[in-house]
Amino acid sequence: MRIILSRSTKEAIDTVSTIMVDRISSRPNMTLGLATGKTMEPVYEDFIAKAREQSLKMDKNFFFMLDEYVGIEEDHPSSFKSYILKRLIKPLDLHESQFAFPPTKLDGDHYETLIKEGGGIDLQLLGIGVNGHIGFNEPGSSINSRTRIVNLTDATKKSNQEHFGSEAMPNQALSMGIGSIMDGKELVMLATGKSKADAIKYLFNHHDDESCPATFLKSHPHFSLFLDPESASKISLKI
């Protein structure tokens, strides 16, 4: 695992969006795996600005979404499909056909096949949940797990309820598994803010621990963890 501690949240975001631009510039037909969530919002904003500035060509890229809620329609304003339409597809004038969305009405094997047929994922972006989840692989998920329906924990529902207002949060999601994520050629995780400090401390100090699924990523040969000062505030790292 490579850990990169930035001097500020802005710098951490800039570093991750720069990696996206660099990888796409050097391999225009590469595939990206995309996470959603609040952490990624400024990354996509920054990426869009850079992509426009550099007239980045993206017509040959293909994107795989990491997860999706089960039990809401895909055009629900809080679906991850709506998230990425608003934050990447529309602003960059990309085509929806360049994106694969976890098919919540089918089983996970369909998505695994799609990823395989697409040549696998070259760069997988990841956030981390307050309980150490990746995608929606909640504590207890196995390292060999593949795309499947998962039950969301109370911690995750509490943290994501704000996106649903007074409406009840879905109880389930279709998520790429840890095994599916580990198949990615390069994994880039970003953690920002104080709320992630405990998960990052746990990740830093433990290996292959089902109670914090992110710990499995440490055995991936190309896993980089990008931290801002707040998310790194409970571990001893110096710039």
| Binding stretches for ligand F6R (CB under 6 A) | 35-39, 66-67, 80, 127-129, 133-135
Query: Min. distance of Cβ 83 from ligand F6R in angstroms?
Result: 8
Query: Min. distance of Cβ 35 from ligand F6R in angstroms?
Result: 4
The DSSP output letter for 92 is T
Taking the least distance from each CB to ligand F6R, the nearer of 39 and 61 is: 39
Is residue 131 part of the annotated active site? The answer reads yes
List the catalytic residue out of 46, 61, 67, 137.
67
Is residue 151 part of the annotated active site? The answer reads no
List the catalytic residue out of 68, 122, 138, 186.
138
Taking the least distance from each CB to ligand F6R, the nearer of 36 and 224 is: 36
Q: Closest residue to ligand F6R, Cβ-based? A: 127
Q: Identify the residue whose tokens are 């501690």.
A: 5
Q: d(Cα 34, Cα 15) in Å, to the nearest integer?
A: 16
Is residue 163 part of the annotated active site? The answer reads no
List the catalytic residue out of 61, 68, 112, 131.
131
Taking the least distance from each CB to ligand F6R, the nearer of 52 and 137 is: 137
- Taking alpha carbons only, the member of 133, 118, 128 closest to residue 183 is 118
Query: Min. distance of Cβ 66 from ligand F6R in angstroms?
Result: 5
- Taking alpha carbons only, the member of 138, 143, 180 closest to residue 158 is 138
Is residue 67 part of the annotated active site? The answer reads yes
CB 131 within 8 A of CB 164: no
Q: CB-based contacts of 77: which residues, under 8 Å, 6+ apart? A: none
Query: Min. distance of Cβ 17 from ligand F6R in angstroms?
Result: 15
- Taking alpha carbons only, the member of 182, 193, 191 closest to residue 227 is 191
Taking the least distance from each CB to ligand F6R, the nearer of 50 and 157 is: 157
Q: CB-based contacts of 126: which residues, under 8 Å, 6+ apart? A: 35, 66, 134, 135, 181, 187, 188, 189, 190, 217
Residues marked as catalytic: 67, 131, 133, 138
